[in-house]
């Protein structure tokens, strides 16, 4: 992978940053100030970043909330809403994933993307789903018992995790024809992550059909490819 970004906000876009993220950013910057004590240039740069963070906080707090609405029939049933998509220019070829996470109040707490030089569309679809689950776990956002719904326009991802993986595991990660599944390392990582959630629902949506979050994930992936020069 040659590029990976976490973007709670971008220049020219609606700012989306949670209280927890603000606190973590402040904590990290203050810690760095201590590490670079005596280095006036570093101290100046860190002070500038802290000042910028203050202005970002004000803008974020003045914001009217999330940009994307959630399906009313799911809003009261799930604690976290994840969305992912993959893109590839040539298959195989350069590819990227895009992911978004929202709370039930529609606050966007994460959007990210990443690029690989040589990959496939299916791998990027899998990576997008992986990144959603990794973020919830690694950032300590997920609490045991919470319900998570993950949207994907890839039937490969949805059917794979809900229908195929259990059989592959019983056969020692082999298909019925005794061959190793394609992209097995991605499937193993996704399965390992999924097992750490009390309730995880995979929900398929039709791609390029106007679903706001799915369209945005596609835009994130394609923008990442553009910025990487592909």
Residues 56, 100 within the same domain: no
Cβ atoms < 10 Å from Cβ of 104: 15
Give me the pLDDT at residue 31, please. 83
The answer to whether 85 is a known catalytic residue is yes
Main-chain dihedrals φ then ψ at residue 132, nearest 5 degrees: -60, -50
Residues 28 and 92 in one domain: no
Active-site annotation holder among 82, 85, 111, 112: 85
Domain-embedded: residue 78 = yes
153, 160, 211, 216: the active-site residue: 153
Residue 12 lies in a domain: no
Identify whether 71 is a catalytic site residue.
no
Same-domain pairing of 30 and 105:
no
Q: How far is CA 172 from CA 106, 157, 168, 176, 190, in A?
A: 40, 20, 6, 11, 16
Report how far residue 147's alpha carbon sits from residue 180's, in angstroms, rounded to the nearest whole number.
31
| Residue 54 and residue 168 share a domain | no
From the candidates 125, 131, 211, 216, which is the catalytic residue?
125
Active site residue 153: yes
Q: State residue 18's pLDDT score.
A: 52
pLDDT at 145: 96
Write the CA distances from 23 to 28, 44, 50, 140, integer angstroms.
Answer: 9, 20, 11, 14
| pLDDT for the residue numbered 33 | 84
Task: Give the three-state DSSP class for 117.
Answer: strand
Whether 115 and 40 share a structural domain:
no
> Look-up: residue for tokens 């220019």?
89
Q: Is 86 a catalytic residue?
A: yes
Does 158 share its domain with 200? yes
Give the per-residue pLDDT at 230. 94
Structural domain harbouring 36: 17-62
State the number of CA atoms in the 13 A half-sphere of 18 facing the CB. 15
Q: Residue 176's CB: how many other CB atoms inside 10 A? A: 9
Of the residues 111, 116, 131, 218, which is catalytic? 218
How far apart (Å, rounded) are the C-alpha atoms in residues 198 and 167?
20
CATH number for the domain spanning 194: value is 3.30.420.10
Number of domains in the chain: 2
Q: Which residues 6+ apart lie within 8 Å of 175 measured at CB?
A: 167, 168, 181
**Which of the 8 DSSP states describes residue 27?**
H
Cα torsion 127, 131, 134, 139 to 10°: value is 160
Query: Phi first, then psi: what are they for 60, rounded to 5°?
Result: -65, -40
Residue-wise pLDDT tens digits, 166-179: 999 999 999 999 99
Active site residue 216: no
Tens of pLDDT along the chain (230 residues)?
444 444 443 333 334 455 555 666 777 888 888 888 889 888 888 888 888 776 664 434 433 344 689 999 899 999 999 999 999 999 999 999 999 999 999 999 999 999 999 999 999 999 999 999 999 999 999 999 999 999 999 999 999 999 999 999 999 999 999 999 999 999 999 999 999 999 999 999 999 999 999 999 999 999 999 999 99
**Which of 51, 143, 182, 208 is an active site residue?**
208
pLDDT of 13 reads: 36
Q: What does the pLDDT read at residue 23?
A: 62
The residue from 86, 98, 112, 114 that is catalytic is 86
Backbone angles phi, psi at 158, to 5 degrees: -65, -50
Distance from C-alpha of 84 to C-alpha of 115, rounded to nearest angstrom: 14
């Amino acid at each position: 992978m040659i590029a990976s970004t976490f973007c709670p906000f971008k220049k020219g876009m609606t700012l989306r940053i949670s209280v927890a993220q603000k606190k973590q950013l402040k904590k990290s910057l203050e810690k760095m100030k201590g590490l670079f004590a005596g280095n006036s240039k570093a101290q100046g740069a860190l002070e500038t970043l802290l000042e910028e963070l203050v202005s970002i906080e004000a803008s974020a707090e003045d914001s009217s909330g999330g940009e994307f609405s959630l399906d009313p029939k799911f809003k009261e049933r799930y604690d976290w809403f994840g969305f992912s998509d993959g893109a590839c220019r040539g298959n195989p070829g350069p590819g990227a994933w895009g992911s978004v996470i929202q709370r039930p109040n529609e606050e966007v707490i994460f959007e990210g993307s990443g690029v690989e030089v040589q990959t496939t569309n299916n791998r990027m679809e899998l990576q997008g789903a992986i990144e959603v689950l990794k973020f919830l776990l690694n950032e300590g956002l997920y609490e045991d018992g919470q319900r998570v719904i993950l949207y994907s326009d890839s039937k490969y991802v949805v059917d794979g995790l809900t229908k195929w993986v259990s059989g592959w595991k019983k056969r020692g990660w082999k298909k019925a024809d005794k061959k190793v599944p394609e992209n097995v390392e991605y499937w193993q990582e996704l399965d390992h992550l999924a097992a750490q959630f009390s309730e995880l629902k995979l929900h398929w949506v039709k791609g390029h059909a106007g679903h706001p979050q799915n369209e945005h994930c596609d835009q994130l992936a394609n923008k990442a490819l553009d910025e990487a020069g592909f």
